[in-house]
Amino acid sequence: MKRILSSLLLPLAGLSLALSACTAAPSRSGEAQDTPLQPWRLLQAAPDAQGRFVQLARPVAVAGWQDQIFIADAGRGRLYRYDRGADRLVSLYSMSLSPDVRLLANAAGELYVTDPDQRQVLRLDTQGQVVERFRDFNLNRPLALIDDPRGGRLLVLDGPDQQILAFNRLGRVEAIIHPRDETGQPPGGLIDLVADTEHFYLLDGARREVLVVDRQGRFVSRFGASRLRQPVALGRDAQGRIIVADAFDNRLWCFPAHRSTAPRARSVKLNALRIRDLAVQGQWLYVADEGLGAVHLLRIVPAAEVGP
């Protein structure tokens, strides 16, 4: 009888382990965590509005707003909106998607999409219709975009000229910022950016580090060179920590806020095949995994809950 029970329990134990690998166990109140990022769920497929099951093929970019996750799937040539509450994956728009495409969602439910090959940024309404195209003769290949934390502007990183273009809401360029390193020279490998009200944080893929400049583009500091090996994307959480995705070993690095006395940088290795992009939305981190055909959902642990 004991042998029979053992043979029945072993498969159940394996199932339990598989499920635990996909969700993070909740911590006890007041207990310090070993990591600032906790894996929660893996999104690979979901039903659409008609109940048909849709499988992600090659997600290369991701953005989020509240319960909505926006996904650029280069394999299917589609932009999707996933509703976490309703568990629905809705196709918004069809277009040729470069692996370098990036997304930005706003409070109105609109979606901004970089189109590097066509030298433009698209603005889509909640129904997936293109309502505006941001173009300028100074914009050669948009690689990243964010809302200006100071408000009212769209900041776009232009790859070839390694500059930041500030568009107003009418689609006109109001300012161009030229970042410089400590020698006063322009960097050569910028691929992503985030910002606070005083600084720009620019991911330099060539030097494998994060370059920090002020609002005029003047050098402030740099970090990450001893950690990063093939960085591809970065984000900034509500506490000012900088999160960088490293495609070399599919690791996420969380660096302390600028000029912070917080503990050292920490990392989490994902069960991923090839990370392409990430997005921070409130307490959540979304990671586009091009190789696995999935989006990883992680909880961002507040700094006060992370151990020394």
Give the domain ranges of the chain: 31-300
Tell me if the pTM is above 0.85: yes
CB 117 within 8 A of CB 125: no
Mean pLDDT of the chain: 88
Q: Could you tell me which of 141, 181, 187, 198 has the C-alpha nearest to residue 165?
A: 141
- For range 287-297, the mean pLDDT: 98
Instruction: Let me know if domain 31-300 sits in CATH 2.120.10.30.
Output: yes
Is pLDDT above 50 for 18?
A: no
What pLDDT band is residue 24 in, cutting at 50, 70 and 90?
A: very low
Could you report the per-residue pLDDT of 217-254, keeping only the tens digit for each? 999 999 999 999 999 999 999 999 999 999 999 999 99
Could you report the per-residue pLDDT of 172-219, keeping only the tens digit for each? 999 999 999 999 999 999 999 999 999 999 999 999 999 999 999 999
Where are the alpha helices (H) located in the chain, listed in sequence order?
Answer: 2-22
CB-based contacts of 237, cutoff 8 Å, min separation 6: 243, 280, 285, 300
Is pLDDT above 80 for 11?
A: no
CB 200 within 8 A of CB 206: no
Predicted local confidence at residue 33, as pLDDT: 63
Predicted local confidence at residue 261, as pLDDT: 57
| Max intra-chain CA distance, the chain | 78
Could you report the per-residue pLDDT of 63-122, keeping only the tens digit for each? 999 999 999 999 999 999 999 989 999 999 999 999 999 999 998 889 999 999 999 999
Classify the C-alpha dihedral 293-96-281-301 as positive or negative.
Answer: positive
- For range 143-163, the mean pLDDT: 95
What pLDDT band is residue 257 in, cutting at 50, 70 and 90?
A: confident
What pLDDT band is residue 307 in, cutting at 50, 70 and 90?
A: low
Rounded Cα gap, residues 227 and 252, in angstroms: 11
For residue 118, give the 3-state DSSP assignment.
Answer: helix
Predicted local confidence at residue 173, as pLDDT: 97
Predicted local confidence at residue 308, as pLDDT: 63
Strand duo 199-204 + 209-214: pairing: antiparallel
Provide the 10 A C-beta neighbour count for residue 211: 24
Q: What percent of the chain has pLDDT over 90?
A: 79
Rounded Cα gap, residues 159 and 107, in angstroms: 27
Token readout for 61 is 């970019």
Rounded Cα gap, residues 240 and 58, in angstroms: 30
